[in-house]
Amino acid sequence: MTRLRVDGVPVELPAGATLLDAVRAVGAELPTLCHDDRLPPAGFCRTCLVDADGRTVAACVTPATPGMTVDTGNEHVRELWRDAVALIASTLPRRALAEASPSELAETCRLLDIDPDTAAASPGHEPDDSHPYVRLDPDLCIACGRCVRMCSDVQGTFALTLTGRGADTVAAPGTGGPWAESDCVSCGGCVDTCPTGAITQPGPAAGLTSRRPEPAPVRTTCGYCGVGCALDVVVREGEVAAVLPARDGPVNRGHACVKGRFAHGYLTSSERLTEPLVRRGGVLTRVGWDEALGVVASGLRAAVGQGAPDAVAAISSARATNEENYLVQKFVRTVIGTNNVDNCSRLCHAPSAAGLTASFGRAGGTDSFDDVEQADCLLVVGANPVEAHPVVGARLLQRALDGAVLVVADPRGVGLARHADVHLPNRPGTNVALFHGLAHVLVDEGLTDPGFLRDRAAGLDELTPLLAEYPPARVAAITGVPARDIVAAARYYGRAEHPAIVYGLGVTEHLHGTDGVRALANLPILRGAVGATGRGFGITPLRGQNNVQGASDMGALPDLLPGYGHVTDPAARARAEAVWGRPVPTTPGLRIPAMFDAARDGRLRALWIIGEDVCATDPDSTRVAEALDACPLVVVDELFAGETARHADVVLPVASWLEKDGTFVNFDRRFQRVRTAVGPPGGARTDFAVVHAVAAAMGADLGCRTPAAALAECGRLAPDFAGISHERLDREGALHWPCPSPDAPGEATLYAGTFATSDGRAHLAAPPYLPPGEEPDADYPLLLVTGRRWAHYNSGSMTRRGANLGLDPQGHLDLHPEDAARHGVRDGAPVVVDSRHGQARLTARVGGDLAPGQVFCAFHFPDEHVNSLTSGHADTATSCPEYKVTAVRLRPAQE
Ligand SMILES: Nc1nc2c(c(=O)[nH]1)N[C@H]1C(S)=C(S)[C@@H](COP(=O)(O)OP(=O)(O)OC[C@H]3O[C@@H](n4cnc5c(=O)[nH]c(N)nc54)[C@H](O)[C@@H]3O)O[C@H]1N2
Ligand SMILES: Nc1nc2c(c(=O)[nH]1)N[C@H]1C(S)=C(S)[C@@H](COP(=O)(O)OP(=O)(O)OC[C@H]3O[C@@H](n4cnc5c(=O)[nH]c(N)nc54)[C@H](O)[C@@H]3O)O[C@H]1N2
Ligand code: SF4
Ligand code: SF4
Ligand code: FES
Ligand SMILES: [Mo]
């Protein structure tokens, strides 16, 4: 602790604090034009001057030392501020200090009584209006460097630079041309830090930053990906004016990405559904809510009457809140009387839930991201966080730039792989062999932790002989990764003091996805780098959707109740029955793919799909559409009439994340609040209200009238969430589960002392490597990998309706130059891709850092039919589709 005095007031500060921290600790303010708390101090602008023991110093870069006396109040210091700030302002045109300007500079000048006419320079540069979300007005630039440093030191994109000389130095895209053609990924970091208005968001948000948003914003949690960024929504005249990154956001710490920050144009799209639709004479027709609810209720009753409760199923939404998911599964189990409820975790991280539960006892990641970020070796496997979890990707990149070793296992050389110390581009579908190869080296070179293996693990005796079959040379032959790189990666992981693993769908979306998770989980067990040993940070899946962790936590799963009690476990059922006052069905229900099978063969007679565009995003989509067409009642809760709605009998218009109240659980098990910023359009209702209304139409009362009451009820039957409530989250911000009581802090790092398995040990697994479901052959010679792009989100229903579409207007097929030449395909030309299951039309992009024989595309444009290509192969343990491996062929389209 450092003790010093500021303006006569004693302060105590932690080691490493600066004089700026000291000044702020007493509540005083300084001009700090080149400083942002999110950045390391730079000391460029010389406006933050204070008297320290009689010397004039820049507070932001001067360490606080014991016994110092700091003075900010005297007229001499104020005069220095005025001079420094006025000198900076004098280089700008008059409008920089316009009366209404909300900029930090204009506000500072007002506070210091600097005459607005001080800014009198004549304009000299053209503004850059090329980008939808970022406008550059170089005449207002003071060359403080904050934007450049946000882009490099926080975002890691390095898109900006300072150009020009002397007083004419201004910020500009590093590529020299217009902003829209630069490397910018629209995170908004530069917009949020710019103190003068030189970089702003065009439109009603102009000049708004997270420093002091006006009017007071609504704090919520992002409804796109699972990172769980805390966002501040500024609402003006009933509409969202801006979405700003919350500086005190526990995960994002004042950062965000193009989706959470900017992609809210969908809210006011003219295509938003505002009234219920019911199919009449083959046509979806607008009706009132009472009529639509009547059709749903009578259809559900008929399905139960003709086929018993198991003829009904629901797909709940990982986009929706915990409370909505809780209510959906409660409705399905207690009003219909079946366990046929599932969510898109099935398509995504079901293998993680199954694999991590088998290895360690619980379905989530083992550690908090805050811990992962302390690691000295990052093993990033089958994940592209730079595009799919940008705020996590940015933090991982900064960690690597700060010196942590980075090992990336991904067939493609994109994203973090570009910065890796070792990149392992294994052939898609060969993970199990690769992970056993790494484990082989750990064992072979004595890089395991014998004490941990003896005291806290099980399964070594079965694993050891299996690993003997995976020497680097053999693994190299299977995976295509050079043996020396396998050895190098294993040594890095094996020798690090705090190795961490984060992984994504490149591990799970395979025929043997659960085996992949288990083989990967062997590594931290062998190293003793899991279980709060202080020697590492375990293994964390980068769960995808904003609330896919929560949808599963809430029991929107066919075999698990809220809090992961199994439906076949009498004790778990009894806990739920005591709260619900209704029997819980005893047999596990249908998983999503089995729901479609049952519909096709006539066993499923009603399917309620809440926020999942199954005809666009589930695999082998032609067969999915057949299933929906065969099902007598298909009800869809949606924001937009997408592919699935076209096959629906009833479409119910619902609210999105900015329009409702509740909670989400992010990828590292944090509950955070979601709050209503604006009302839903027209007659749209929340999924929460819709589930209540359907239950009421069937003569049932689900109780828990408010989202807060629903979460409280869930806590009564799920001990892991018993300590979490809206009221507590409103006070504390975020809480990790497990959190068993209102005074428990929430467990960020799991398994101190014991694992949650039946014997308290971490379980090594010994699955053999088995080949993927499809392999390229003479007819279909290319291996298609599907995944994500930064500007769009899944079905694209929200990101295609707004300016993100301009950033990435169509789907591309990335391919190697050799394959382009072999198949007669030119860069930018339309191509037809065929698989054994269907056909897609995309635009060729030669590049993308793939091996010859492999091609890559995303699935964000349903019109292009990418998911008609993907097969029905699915993880043998959990039915997660094999989206990452499809054999395809390619030809140029007729132009
Ligand atoms: N911008 C954007 N962000 C998103 C989404 C989005 O649609 N757009 N969707 C969200 C959702 S739902 C999810 S689940 C997450 C997904 O996030 P990620 O898991 O990061 O996403 P993907 O791009 O599907 O796949 C990750 C990587 O796996 C690699 N891969 C494929 N096969 C293999 C293999 O056999 N072995 C290895 N080691 N790697 C392989 C691919 O090359 C790809 O780079 O993203 C979320 N965030
Ligand atoms: N080829 C290929 N296909 C894939 C994948 C892949 O890697 N490759 N990944 C798979 C993965 S991991 C996932 S998670 C799925 C995602 O697939 P989906 O879940 O289908 O995709 P989303 O676009 O996220 O959302 C589905 C729908 O929910 C609606 N929606 C948004 N918010 C709400 C809400 O609050 N309530 C309701 N009722 N609706 C809402 C949106 O308009 C959208 O139409 O895609 C899978 N499909
Ligand atoms: S928006 Fe983000 S990526 Fe783009 S220039 Fe600004 S800081 Fe860099
Ligand atoms: S990183 Fe994920 S949670 Fe954060 S703003 Fe982007 S989409 Fe939202
Ligand atoms: S804020 Fe301290 S020198 Fe600029
Ligand atoms: Mo996902």
Confidence bin at 307 (pLDDT 50/70/90): confident
Residue that finishes a domain, picked among 721, 736, 751: 736
- Taking the centre of ligand 3 as the mean of its atom positions, its distance from the CA of residue 393, in whole angstroms, is 14
Q: What CATH number has the domain bearing residue 80?
A: 3.10.20.740
- Taking the centre of ligand 4 as the mean of its atom positions, its distance from the CA of residue 245, in whole angstroms, is 10
Amino acid of residue 854: Q
- pLDDT of the residue at 649: 98
Specify the residue with its C-alpha closest to ligand 3, atom 8. 151
Q: Is residue 608 part of a domain?
A: yes
Specify the residue with its C-alpha closest to ligand 3, atom 2. 187
Same domain for 181 and 127: yes
Residue 536 has pLDDT above 90, yes or no: no
Residue that finishes a domain, picked among 44, 66, 89: 89
Q: What is the pLDDT of residues 788-807, one digit of tens each?
A: 999 999 999 999 999 999 99
Closest CA to 698 of 332, 219, 286: 332
DSSP for 308-336 reads -GGGEEEE--TTS-HHHHHHHHHIIIIII
Lookup: tokens for 551: 């949808």
764, 526 contact by CB (below 8 A): yes
Return the ligand 5 atom nearest residue 60 CA.
2
Specify the residue with its C-alpha closest to ligand 3, atom 6. 190
CA distance 196 to 719: 51
Residue 187 in contact with ligand 3 by CB distance below 6 A? yes
Ligand 4 pocket mutation, candidates 157, 186, 229, 369, criterion most atoms within 8 A of CB: 229
CA distance 822 to 782: 11
- Taking the centre of ligand 6 as the mean of its atom positions, its distance from the CA of residue 345, in whole angstroms, is 7
Can the peptide bond before residue 390 be classed as cis, meaning omega within 30 degrees of 0? no
Residue 150 in contact with ligand 3 by CB distance below 6 A? yes
Give the residue ranges of DSSP H helices in 445-482: 450-456, 460-468, 472-479
Q: What is the pLDDT of residues 362-392, one digit of tens each?
A: 998 999 999 888 899 999 999 999 999 999 9
Return the ligand 3 atom nearest residue 185 CA.
3
Residue 504 in contact with ligand 1 by CB distance below 6 A? yes
Q: Is residue 94 part of a domain?
A: no
Q: Is residue 407 part of a domain?
A: yes
SS (H, E, C) 399-440: HHHCCCEEEEECCCCCHHHHHCCEEECCCCCCHHHHHHHHHH
Q: What is the pLDDT of residues 54-97, one digit of tens each?
A: 999 999 999 999 999 999 988 999 999 999 999 999 999 999 99
> What's the chain's length in residues?
895
Other CB atoms closer than 10 Å to residue 47's CB: what's the count? 26
Same domain for 76 and 225: no
- pLDDT of the residue at 745: 94
The secondary element (H helix, E strand) that includes residue 13 is: strand 9-13
Same domain for 459 and 343: no
Residue that finishes a domain, picked among 517, 541, 565: 541
Residue 154 in contact with ligand 3 by CB distance below 6 A? no
- Taking the centre of ligand 1 as the mean of its atom positions, its distance from the CA of residue 812, in whole angstroms, is 16
Same domain for 557 and 692: yes
DSSP state for residue 41 in the 8-state scheme: -
The secondary element (H helix, E strand) that includes residue 486 is: helix 483-495
For the CA of 592, the nearest ligand: 2
Closest CA to 542 of 788, 867, 264: 788
- Taking the centre of ligand 6 as the mean of its atom positions, its distance from the CA of residue 352, in whole angstroms, is 12
Q: Is residue 759 part of a domain?
A: no
Same domain for 645 and 566: yes
Nearest 5 degrees, angle CA 687-CA 691-CA 695? 170
**Cα pseudo-dihedral 489, 494, 499, 504, rounded to 10:** 50
Mean pLDDT calculated for residue range 743-771: 96
- pLDDT of the residue at 895: 60
Same domain for 356 and 445: yes
Mean pLDDT calculated for residue range 638-661: 98
Percent of the chain at pLDDT above 90?
A: 96
Q: Is residue 375 part of a domain?
A: yes
Q: Is residue 105 part of a domain?
A: no
Specify the residue with its C-alpha closest to ligand 2, atom 45. 617
861 versus 307: the higher-pLDDT residue is 861
- Taking the centre of ligand 4 as the mean of its atom positions, its distance from the CA of residue 199, in whole angstroms, is 21
Residue 80 in contact with ligand 5 by CB distance below 6 A? no
Residue 168 has pLDDT above 90, yes or no: no
Return the ligand 1 atom nearest residue 411 CA.
42
Same domain for 80 and 134: no
Specify the residue with its C-alpha closest to ligand 3, atom 5. 184
- Inter-CA distances, 657 with 77, 95, 394, Å: 48, 37, 24
Strongest mean pLDDT among 93-102, 260-269, 532-541: 260-269
Q: Which residue has the tokens 């966002």?
A: 231
**Residue 29's domain spans which residues?**
2-89
- Taking the centre of ligand 4 as the mean of its atom positions, its distance from the CA of residue 398, in whole angstroms, is 17
CA distance 506 to 772: 13
Residues sharing a CB contact under 8 Å with residue 83, sequence separation 6 or more, in sequence order: none
CA distance 670 to 748: 8
Percent of the chain at pLDDT above 70?
A: 100
Can the peptide bond before residue 738 be classed as cis, meaning omega within 30 degrees of 0? yes
Confidence bin at 894 (pLDDT 50/70/90): confident
Residues sharing a CB contact under 8 Å with residue 168, sequence separation 6 or more, in sequence order: 124
Amino acid of residue 385: P
Ligand 4 pocket mutation, candidates 192, 224, 247, criterion most atoms within 8 A of CB: 224
Q: What CATH number has the domain bearing residue 618?
A: 3.40.50.740
Q: Edge to edge, what strands does the sheet with 734-736 contain?
A: 662-665, 670-674, 734-736
SS (H, E, C) 734-777: EEECCCCCCCCCCCCCCCCCCCCCCCCCEECCCCCCCCCCCCCC
Q: Is residue 273 part of a domain?
A: no
3-class SS of residue 651: strand
Q: What CATH number has the domain bearing residue 482?
A: 3.40.228.10
Amino acid of residue 683: G
DSSP state for residue 514 in the 8-state scheme: H
Same domain for 498 and 428: yes
CA distance 322 to 506: 26
Same domain for 308 and 182: no
DSSP for 364-382 reads S-SS-HHHHTT-SEEEEES
Same domain for 654 and 713: yes
Q: How do 2-6 and 9-13 pair as beta strands?
A: antiparallel
Q: Is residue 100 part of a domain?
A: no
Number of domains composing the chain: 5
CA distance 470 to 748: 35
DSSP for 217-236 reads PEEEE-SSBTT--EEEEEEE
Return the ligand 4 atom nearest residue 260 CA.
5
Lookup: tokens for 159: 């898109």
Residues sharing a CB contact under 8 Å with residue 126, sequence separation 6 or more, in sequence order: 138
Mean pLDDT calculated for residue range 448-475: 98
Mean pLDDT calculated for residue range 479-495: 98
Q: What is the pLDDT of residues 588-616, one digit of tens each?
A: 999 999 999 999 999 999 999 999 999 99
Same domain for 227 and 328: no
Q: Which residues surround ligand 4 with Cβ inside 6 Å?
A: 222, 224-225, 227-229, 252, 256-257, 259-261, 389-391
CA distance 771 to 471: 18
Q: What is the pLDDT of residues 259-297, one digit of tens each?
A: 999 999 999 999 999 999 999 999 999 999 999 999 999
Ligand 2 pocket mutation, candidates 344, 412, 837, criterion most atoms within 8 A of CB: 344
* Helix pair angle (483-495, 472-479), 10° resolution: 120
Mean pLDDT calculated for residue range 325-334: 98
CA distance 333 to 336: 6
Residue 119 in contact with ligand 5 by CB distance below 6 A? no
The secondary element (H helix, E strand) that includes residue 86 is: helix 75-89
Mean pLDDT calculated for residue range 673-684: 98
DSSP state for residue 361 in the 8-state scheme: S
Q: What is the pLDDT of residues 105-144, one digit of tens each?
A: 999 999 999 999 999 999 889 999 999 999 999 999 999 9
Residue 255 has pLDDT above 90, yes or no: yes
Q: Which residue has the tokens 């009451």?
A: 709
Mean pLDDT calculated for residue range 547-561: 98
Closest CA to 333 of 309, 354, 311, 303: 309
- Inter-CA distances, 316 with 301, 545, 577, 687, Å: 20, 13, 21, 10
Q: How do 812-815 and 762-763 pair as beta strands?
A: unpaired
CB atoms within 5 A of ion ligand 6 belong to 348, 544
CA distance 137 to 191: 11
Same domain for 222 and 163: yes
